[in-house]
Structure 1
Amino acid sequence: TVSEPKVILKADWSQIFRGETVTLSCQIQGGGGTQWTYEWRQNWSNIPPTSSEYRIDKVKDDHSGDYSCQGRSGFLLTQWSDAFRLSVSRKPQPVLSVSPSWLSPGASVTLSCEVKPPSAGWRFFWYKAKKYGSYSYELLPGSSNGTQQNSYIIHGQKHTAGYVCRAGRGESAFYSDYSEPSFVWSAAFPPAASLRVNPDRVQLFRSESVSLSCEGNSTEWRVKRFPETGHLSDFNCSTWGTMTGSSCIIKPFWSDGGVFWCESGSGEFSNAVNITVQDKDDGIILQSPVHPVTEGDPVTLSCRTKQQKLLSDVSFYHNNKLLQNDGREELKISAVSKSDEGFYSCEHSGQKSPQSWMSVQGEEASNI
């Protein structure tokens, strides 16, 4: 007895993406040693293959549809199989996340690559973004054949860096798109360059001007920004300011804040500074260190108006938890420790400042 044919997708995953190689198999049970010639049809129209497998290289949208098969041997003809629905989806773009996003020099960084929508069979490839403007990527060690795990740990990271990932699967090496770059930021000064902010603050009023200057051993330094929105379209200084030499001048009523750093033509990086914008001219800002504070050093935080008036009766918050509200003007830490690192903000008369990150580094890092 010959059973009704059945169309099977020869893959360990059910979701198919544009560009993949697809093989459909027509399976007929029974019939002894019958030699079958196969007929295929897509959306009720006959298609050429006569073998038991139908291979589609670099599948496209118009390959989506219902596929059926039947077997023929002399005068013996099977029924048409039930239709198998092949759906072709657009090539996925993974989402890369980095933890922590702000690091202490020498800390480990974990990259995680997620393919959306989820699907099986992926191997993951990890890259360091050498030059963001031209998207030059360098494979990370141990990544040439991909990793089965969708995470990758980088040990001993010291300075600001950007990373991307992509996923691949199948014998014919189908790859997803590259993820958008994700960054790990370091406020510590690397040997190559430093970013200086004038006025020397990380919180600014929208109506203020600010100058960001690259200081280092290269004439090709450019100020870069990763905006709060996370979109890379307004990536260069020329989009939201004026580049003069190695300084970027941002005029009043500039756009939202973000993380700023200097990048050379060869892909070297300075420290990163996270600048936050206060939208209201009658609002308040937190005065906090722009650059990392060394363990054991004193640090003072204060709350100020646009006219830089020092406010009293202020509440201070660390990582959104109330830290001090005893009426004092300033938050003073006599000897800062690693546990003091984090996000700070202040509140006065019902008005709250934006929050800013204060980085704490060990004494050995301050001598790098």
Structure 2
Amino acid sequence: MTVLIDLMGIGLVMPVTPRLVESFVGGGPSNASVTFGLLVTSYALASLLGAPLLGAISDAIGRRPVLLLAVAGLGINYVAAALAPNLLVLFAARIFAGLCGASYTTAAAYIADVTPPERRAAAFGLIGAAAGSGFILGPAIGGLLGDLGPRVPFVVAAILAAANFLYGLFVLPESLPRTLRRTFTWRAANPFRALLRLARFKALPGLALLYFFVEIGGVYPQAIWVLFTDYRFGWSSYQVGVSLALVGLFFGAAQAGLTRIIVPRLGERSAVLLGLGGYILGCVLFAFATESWQLYVIVPIYALGGLAAPSVQAVISARVPADEQGELQGALASTIGIAAVLAPICATCVFGLCTGPTAPVDAPGAPFLVEALLLVGGLLLALQTMPRRAAVRRVPITASATPA
């Protein structure tokens, strides 16, 4: 429920944020693309720095207070963004939101606390389904509200964040027993150290790099979708919202439904390969779509990519002790953060270069072709790093775990 309400708020503002940037910059999607990419990158960079910190804190004081802090920070961000008089305030609000954006990370650690290793792929898929449901409801409502003005969805998102805070305060219990909590250290909060600590466990560095490629498929289109559909098809906020809701629907079905079917029968490796294949094929089809209705047909193919992340996440989680799950999820959030820092600026720069009156060639689908090439690299890496039948096994709780 916490992730669902949180992601609804994020989904609410997705259809209108590029247009809010355009209102400050002037011109069409091409002129605003790089500025919007920098805005998304600033949020991602702040999240990269903040997520491991809050993950390490959650290992020390519990998951619940960190979730409350994250939700409160998002609520403050939405209010500031709704009232922003200029780009400087809008950037400051998004950076603050990124620093507090640990709800997904801490929720993943929460799930690891209460779920046995052999069921974690399905459980992580359930988090993805909650996120997908948020992206079903949020963009659809945000698209409708966006016709009233680009700031209105931010106000509604702030109200949702307040409701989420109250839910966490009065309903959500703590999941991490005091006996499993660790002393907080600043070293554990270093995002790059958290990634380096994965090297203590055999095969995890390669799996972490694979997780990075998988997350590229998840975050890359978010930076370009509104700009792409506006430029190529002239979509309104409502049309963008409906399409994003459809994306959320199919991603939720893949993560909550197909994950539970495919992983037990075929294993995590097959799920990852199928997911990356869906991403790659979907990207190529998006790039060459000539009619707006074609996008709706392609979305289910692309959404197969939702199988990949929870499967890789489950394999990694099973190789880390229970008392380090918060730090692990912080490290994985750093991986997502790096993808979220690089993907938007890459996508929007390619879009800016390949659109507009000064572009050498008018190719708004070029960013999707670049994404497809990146994901081919991820597919090759998956063939090397994923075991043919990923055996999920519990690692004993120790002060310093031996490589598994």
TM class by smaller structure: under 0.3
| Structure whose CA Rg is larger | 1
Query: Greater strand percent: which structure?
Result: 1
- Please give the TM-score of this superposition, normalised by the length of structure 1: 0.26
Question: Which structure would you say has the larger RCO, counting Cα contacts within 8 Å and 6 or more residues apart?
Answer: 2
Higher helix share: 2
Q: Normalization by structure 2: what TM-score?
A: 0.24
